[in-house]
Structure 1
Amino acid sequence: MGGSSAFHIIFSVTFIAILFGGHCVAGAHIAVDIINDIGPNVQLGLHCKSKDKDLGSQSLAPQQHWGFREAINIWETTLFYCHFEWGNQSKWFDIIYIKRDQWVCEHHDQCVWSIRPDGPCRLTGQEKCFPWHDAAI
C-alpha cells in the first residue's frame, strides 16, 4: 500500500509540473497607464472593467494619466475593456487583451496607452495604433 501512495504523489507532482512548468503565470501582473490624448481642452470619460471586476468611472483632463494593475489568470485569458466618452463620441476598446499585450508589456513593465480620436495607440515598445471596436457596449 505504501508503494501505491508514493506512486500517486510522484504522479501528481509530475502532472502539475508538466501542466504548469515553464508556462506558469502565477503571481504575474500587467500594469496599464492610460493618457488622454483626445485633444486640447477635451475631457475624457472612461470606465474600465472585466467580466468579474469593475474599476469604476474616471475623468481625465487633457494629457492626464490614470492606470491600474491586474493579475494575469493562469489560463492567460485576462481581458479588460474600457468605454471612452468625449464630446458626442462613445467608443470602446479591449485595453488588456493578454494574447496581444502580455509579452510586449511584461518586457517594459507596463502598457502605456494614448487615447486618440482615431483609436488607442500602445506606446509601449514600438508604437502601434488600433481601431476602435465597432459595436456599442
Structure 2
Amino acid sequence: MKFFFAFMLIFSLAFFLIFISILQPQHLYGTEYDVRVINGFSDNSSLPLVIWCTSDESDLGGRALQERDDFSWRLRTNFWGTTHFICTMKWDRRRKSFEAFKVPRDIHRCSPLRKCSWLVTEEGFYFSNDEVNWKKDFSWS
C-alpha cells in the first residue's frame, strides 16, 4: 500500500511538471528577456531623465540619462510567472512609475525576439519589440 501511494505521488508530480512545461514552458524553466529604456527627449541637454528600476528580487539602481542614452538589463522569468520590474522616471517636475516588464503582459508582446523596449519622450512612453515600430502606451499624466 505504501508503494502504491509513493508511486501515485511521484506519477502526479511528474504529470504536473510535464503539464506545466507544455502549457507555460517559460514559467518552468525561465525565459530571458532584454529590457531597454531609451531617453527619446528631443532637447533635454540641461536636464537629464532620471530612471530607477526595481523588482521583488533586485534593485537595479538609478541612472541619469542624457539624450539618446539608455538603461538596459536582462531578466529571467521565475517559475511562478510573477516576474516584474517597475521603473520610476523623473524629468523636471514630472514623475511617473510604470511596469517596464510584467510576465502576463509581456511574454506575448515582447516576442519573438524577447525584446521589450521603451522610448520615453515629452509626449509619453512608447513600446516596441523591435525598436522600429513604436506604439504609445501612456502619457506622463
* Residue matched to 1:23: 24
Extract unaligned runs of 5+ from structure 1.
none
Q: Is the 8 A contact 2:125 2:140 kept in 1?
A: no
Q: Indicate whether 1:34 and 2:25 are aligned.
A: no
In 1, Cα distance between the equivalents of 2:42 and 2:102?
26
* Residue matched to 1:86: 91
* Residue matched to 1:13: 14
Residues 1-137 of structure 1 aligned to structure 2 (within 5 Å) = 4=4, 5-25=6-26, 26-40=29-43, 41=45, 42-125=47-130, 126-132=133-139
- For residues 33-91 of structure 1, the C-alpha deviation after alignment (integer angstroms, 9 at most, x for no partner) is 11101232241110011233211011111011220111112232222111111222222
Q: Is the 8 A contact 2:55 2:85 kept in 1?
A: yes
Q: Percent identity?
A: 23
In 2, Cα distance between the equivalents of 1:129 and 1:35?
14
TM-score, scaled to structure 1: 0.82
Counterpart AA for 2:65: L
TM-score, scaled to structure 2: 0.80
Q: What RMSD in Å do the two structures reach over aligned CA positions?
A: 2.2
Residue 2 of structure 1: how far off its partner (Å): 7.8
Distance 1:88 1:6, change over 3 A: closer
Aligned residues: 134
Counterpart AA for 2:66: A
